[in-house]
Amino acid sequence: MKLLITGGAGFIGSAVVRRAIAQGNEVVNLDCLTYAACLENIASVADHPAYAFEQVDICDAAEVARVFASHRPDAVMHLAAESHVDRSIDGPGDFIRTNVMGTYVLLEAAREYWQAQGRPEGFRFHHISTDEVYGSLGDHGKFTEDTPYDPRSPYSASKASSDHLVRAWHETYGLPVVLSNCSNNYGPYHFPEKLIPVVILNALAGKEIPVYGAGANVRDWLYVEDHAEALLLVLQQGALGRSYNIGGENEARNIDLVRMICALLDEMRPDAAPHDRLITYVTDRPGHDLRYAIDPQRISTELGWRPSVTLEEGLRLTVEWYLANEDWWRPLQARAGVGERLGTKA
Ligand SMILES: NC(=O)c1ccc[n+]([C@@H]2O[C@H](COP(=O)([O-])OP(=O)(O)OC[C@H]3O[C@@H](n4cnc5c(N)ncnc54)[C@H](O)[C@@H]3O)[C@@H](O)[C@H]2O)c1
């Protein structure tokens, strides 16, 4: 199968690219290389004969159409997005442009290409989205695929908009789509502005570990390699027009997550223990959703998918990876905004 993967130089997209090639697929990686992109993430496949890279902006209709016409993919996996909630608070415009307009451009290009090919039955447009479209949970309950949308940040509102567009292109034009909404990912190649890498890298540097508010916000953590596997399964076996929630069955309060990472570092770097002395509570994010939790019943019963690691196992793999890959993360810390407190301009 030839896959057109957008955002394949990002955190999750690169895991999908690596796994798709390992499974024997051909991959065209379409990415415009924003501040969040790292070609090093896909260095292991860059010279593979089944891999091609196109530095293209998904908002550029002519270039996107050229990529479809020249590569003739069997399916699209759409991951390109602006993805950092704090940046969406300070500057929502980029999120509306890429996540909403870019998805529209990609849908139109996919539709024209699919129609010109005679509407092949096997074609798929897989839209990758987030559980943040469902808003915030209280202490109980979980998000199912039927939970009403209630996005509360510019990021989640832009992703919810893109989900609506994808469903509309299916209902109106018959475009063969599948959707997935996943919980917070973590693992190797996670860009160093996100919570888990910030905790690891600040702790290693002996710097304060910032925890928003009281650290009571709960996330359902999903190991990125498990997510990549689930995404390829949804693409290959998901029912047309259907969406799948993907979660790690690993809920944790932020403060407990941070303490787990500190305990791992105490074990691996005992000279600097205890690392939790660096925990510092900072002003909360405006509109910070309290709790996300995924009910993964549909993907587990219909597609037989389950996460392969617990949070404890995945965090151990992640901390070990950051300790072994300073060459990857050190240069990224110099990129604009990394290491700064963002998301305060509400
Ligand atoms: N990271 C998470 O925990 C998480 C959770 C749920 C859903 N998601 C979704 O998964 C997808 C991937 O997330 P991620 O964490 O890998 O993101 P990321 O920020 O690490 O990577 C995004 C990639 O998209 C590319 N990109 C951005 N704008 C583009 C444009 N206009 N044209 C072409 N390429 C562009 C960037 O260069 C980058 O390589 C996103 O759609 C995101 O909404 C992420």
pLDDT tens string 66-78: 999 999 999 999 9
Query: What mean pLDDT is predicted for residues 152-180?
Result: 98
Mean pLDDT of 159-168: 98
Is 94 part of the annotated catalytic residue set? no
Phi, psi at residue 296, to the nearest 5°? -90, 20
Confidence of residue 34 (pLDDT cuts 50, 70, 90): very high
pLDDT value, residue 284: 86
In terms of Cα–Cα distance, which of 119, 66, 85 is closest to 240? 119
Quote the CA–CA distance of 9 and 6 in Å, as a whole number: 8
276 catalytically annotated? no
Report the pLDDT value the prediction gives residue 240, as an integer from 0 to 100: 98
Check pocket membership of 263 for ligand 1, CB cut-off 6 A: no
- Between 94-98, 214-218, 224-228, the lowest mean confidence (pLDDT) is in 214-218
Tens-digit pLDDT profile for residues 240-267: 999 999 999 999 999 999 999 999 999 9
pTM attached to this predicted model: 0.97
Ligand 1: residue whose CA is nearest its atom 7: 130
Question: Does residue 345 register a pLDDT over 90?
Answer: no
Q: Which of 96-105, 261-270, 332-341 has the lowest mean pLDDT?
A: 332-341
Q: Tell me the pairing of strands 251-253 and 218-220.
A: antiparallel
Distance CA 90, CA 83 (A): 13
- Looking from the CA of residue 58, the nearest atom of ligand 1 is 32
Give the pLDDT band of residue 132 (cuts 50, 70, 90).
very high
Token pair, residue 344, equals 């305060």
Q: 344: pLDDT confidence band, cut at 50, 70 and 90? A: confident
Type of residue numbered 319: V
Residue 301: predicted pLDDT: 98
Q: 27 - beta bridge partners?
A: 3, 51
Tell me which of 19, 83, 86, 130 to substitute to probe ligand 1's pocket, judged by most ligand atoms within 8 Å of the beta carbon: 83
pLDDT at 92: 96
Is 63 catalytic? The answer is no
In residues, how long is the chain? 346
pLDDT of residue 325: 98
Please tell me the predicted confidence (pLDDT) of residue 341.
Answer: 81
Distance from residue 192's CA to the centre of ligand 1 (Å): 14
| pLDDT value, residue 202 | 97
> Could you report how far apart the first and last alpha carbons of the chain are, in Å?
45
Q: Are strands 209-212 and 124-130 parallel, antiparallel or unpaired?
A: unpaired
Binning pLDDT at 50, 70 and 90, where does residue 339 land? confident
- Specify whether the CB–CB gap between 281 and 215 falls below 8 A: yes
Q: Per-residue pLDDT tens for 258-311?
A: 999 999 999 999 999 999 999 999 998 888 889 999 999 999 999 999 999 999
Q: Which one of 4, 6, 12, 191 would you pick to mutate in the ligand 1 pocket, going by the greatest count of ligand atoms within 8 A of its CB?
A: 12
Q: In sequence order, what E strands does the chain have?
A: 2-6, 26-30, 51-54, 75-78, 124-130, 177-182, 185-186, 209-212, 218-220, 222-223, 243-246, 251-253, 279-282
Transcribe 111-146 into DSSP letters: HHHHHHTT--TT-EEEEEEEGGGG--B-SS--B-TT
Average pLDDT, the chain: 96
Q: Is the pLDDT of residue 171 over 90?
A: yes
Q: Which residues contact 266 (CB under 8 A, 6 or more apart)?
A: 273, 274, 275
From CA 62, how far away is CA 109, in angstroms rounded?
9
- Helix (H, G, I), strand (E, B), or coil: what is residue 33? coil
> What is the whole-number distance in angstroms between the Cα of residue 153 and the centre of ligand 1?
16
Amino acid occupying residue 100: V
Confidence of residue 25 (pLDDT cuts 50, 70, 90): very high
Residue pLDDT, tens place only, 196-221 = 999 999 999 999 999 999 999 999 99
Q: Which residues contact 29 (CB under 8 A, 6 or more apart)?
A: 5, 8, 9, 13, 17, 42, 51, 52, 53, 54
Residue 159 beta carbon below 6 angstroms from any ligand 1 atom: yes
Q: Is the CB–ligand 1 distance for residue 98 below 6 Å?
A: yes
Please compute the mean of the pLDDT values over residues 55-62 and round it to a whole number.
98
